[in-house]
Amino acid sequence: MKLIMAIIKPFKLDDVRDALTSIGIDGLTATEVKGFGRQKGHTEIYRGAEYAISFLPKIKIELAVKDDLVEQAVETIMTTAKTGQIGDGKIFVYDLSNVVRIRTGETDADAL
Amino acid sequence: MREIRINKIAVALGAALIALVPGAASAAVDPETAYVLNSFSFLLNGALVMWMAAGFAMLEAGLVRKKNTATICLKNIALYSVAGLTFYLIGYNLMYLDVTGFIGSFSPFWGADDAAALAGTFEDGGYSASSDWFFQMVFVATAASIVSGTLAERIKLWPFLTFVLILTAIIYPIQGSWVWGGGWLSEMGFSDYAGSTLVHSVGGWAALTGAIILGARKGKYSADGRVQPIPGANLPLATLGTFILWLGWFGFNGGSVLALGSAASVIEMANVFANTNMAAVGGVLAAMILTQILYKKVDLTMALNGAIGGLVSITAEPADPSIGLAIIIGAVGGVLVVFAVPLLDKLKIDDVVGAISAHLVCGIWGTLAVALSDADATFAVQATGIVAIGAFVIVTSTILWLILKYTVGIRASEEDEANGLDKAELGLEAYPEFGPSS
């Protein structure tokens, strides 16, 4: 089992969700986050004075997947979240040692 | 000129009575009806001015950071209440009772005396005593509201309210007596219809001295003198607040006709409403166009300040100008705001909401602009009033701020400022997003 964590552009969230659902991913968690990468930030202006925005809003998604789906899930996120512009984000894959479904107590692959 | 204006209208009313032909279709209203209408004008317009307290609260709540939102809301409702109390205790009598030129009476506890009207005797231009008291009281609160926005996010609650107490009990009424109480400035011919100087500049001077003595918010200016903007947390709220102020201003200026008992007075009030509205229009558009040119972006908060600047600018004389002149007077106010805000920043005077620019700078301009449309006013006399009242308020409020600074202290601790005054002074958050409320 792997935990896939990806940082994507906020407006891509619905596309990514739909694409992942269609390949059989049953759930994910999304969080509003801020960060910077190669895109850096930009400047804004307030009452006549400029200031730098050095952290940009992004969405972090996390999904736990069975080993046989990992490659396909990563591929799906990559194609749907991609705009080709700087700031599209990154995908991280972690090993996942245990999973428990709280309601039933099922574990690992049964809980996914 | 408040008393003098009543006389003008009384004369007009008298002339109308003399000209009255028996059996004519339109008759002048009888004195009791005029009394009712005059009182009604004070009450309704006064209630509109009271609502400006909500406007200031929302404007300020929108332009502070969210960690100081509850505190600025509390300050606004508290200062309104303090102003009401002090105006009852001594303020009104100090401003209007037996004014000897420089000051009224120190007799405490204002009380209504309507005996003559209850007995069926109605003076020309008369009104119920409490309607007048209420209308004057809501003006004091407006002056105090101006101070709270400038000093937001770093001043301690109770020392601020102590300042408001003295401002509304003593400083505001004394200078008010010089003009509206019939004192020396009004005898000289100084004219301030609804208070560009008496209300808005007075609040602005008190805010300016406070901002200098209190110092800027931590982080507003870098060591090398650059401005590091601290954007407001909620611009829709600031916009709502500005619209509320705009609405309340119809009462502020319209009610300052001080009468509604004749066609002449209602015509004047209608002109005041129209001019007040169009001055704000001029202020908004001037600020928008100017920020687009200067910064290549339109600045919403400057457009909001432009509305206020336009309104303040027309307040000293909203009756006499043509609509076109009112737009120009307001537009100049909007331009002044756009230049005054960065100028104050250059001087490292941190004004969170732009109140010094909108109320003080435009208050001075509006008071001078009276001479453009009022043949009885001169620039020299208008300038005398601006300087005299400015000097009085600068001196008294500086002394008061310094006393507070060196006794109880006025500045929140660095740690409290960093954590936000909501947690430090109120022990709560305006927007509790994590915990029992979610």
Residue B389's pLDDT is 98
Question: Does the pLDDT of residue B435 top 80, yes or no?
Answer: no
Residues in chain A: 112
Any A CB within 8 A of B219 CB: no
Residue A40 CB neighbour total at 10 angstroms: 12
Q: Do B228 and A51 touch (CB under 8 A)?
A: yes
Q: Do B301 and A49 touch (CB under 8 A)?
A: no
Q: Do A48 and B345 touch (CB under 8 A)?
A: yes
- Mean pLDDT confidence for B117-137: 95
Summarised one tens digit per residue, pLDDT across range B365-423 is 999 999 999 999 999 999 999 999 999 999 999 999 999 999 999 999 999 999 999 99
Q: By the 8 A CB rule, do B372 and B316 touch?
A: no
Q: What is the pTM of this model?
A: 0.90
**Shortest Cα–Cα distance, A35 to chain B (Å):** 19
- On chain A, the residues whose CB falls within 8 A of the CB of B227 are 48-49
Among B142, B128, B130, B6, which residue's Cα sits nearest to residue B76? Answer: B142
Q: By the 8 A CB rule, do B317 and B357 touch?
A: no
Q: Please tell me what DSSP assigns to residue B177.
A: H
- On chain A, the residues whose CB falls within 8 A of the CB of B342 are 47-49
**From B226, B297, B345, residue closest to A45, measured CB to CB:** B297
**From B338, B345, B354, residue closest to A49, measured CB to CB:** B345
ipTM: 0.78
Give which of A47, A51, A53 to mutate to test B binding, by max B Cβ within 10 Å. Answer: A47
Summarised one tens digit per residue, pLDDT across range B180-238 is 999 999 999 999 999 999 999 999 999 999 999 999 999 999 988 899 999 999 999 99
Burial of A60 (0-12, 13-18, 19+ CB in 10 A): middle
Burial of B218 (0-12, 13-18, 19+ CB in 10 A): middle
Residue B21's pLDDT is 44
Question: Does the pLDDT of residue B4 top 50, yes or no?
Answer: no
Residue B437's pLDDT is 61
Summarised one tens digit per residue, pLDDT across range A21-48 is 999 998 999 999 999 988 877 888 999 8
- On chain B, the residues whose CB falls within 8 A of the CB of A49 are 226-229, 342, 345
**Shortest Cα–Cα distance, B197 to chain A (Å):** 25
CB pairs under 8 A between A and B: 36
**From B226, B228, B341, residue closest to A48, measured CB to CB:** B341
| Residue B104: C-alpha distances to residues B11, B86, B95, B97, B247 (Å) | 26, 15, 5, 5, 32
Give which of B63, B234, B299, B337 to mutate to test A binding, by max A Cβ within 10 Å. Answer: B299
Residue B78 CB neighbour total at 10 angstroms: 17
Any A CB within 8 A of B150 CB: no
- On chain B, the residues whose CB falls within 8 A of the CB of A48 are 227, 291, 294-295, 299, 302, 338, 341-342, 345
Q: Six-digit token pair at A94?
A: 């972690």
Provide the chain A residues 32-61 that lie in CB contact (below 8 A) with chain B.
44-51
Q: Six-digit token pair at B432?
A: 């509790």
Give which of B295, B345, B347 to mutate to test A binding, by max A Cβ within 10 Å. Answer: B295
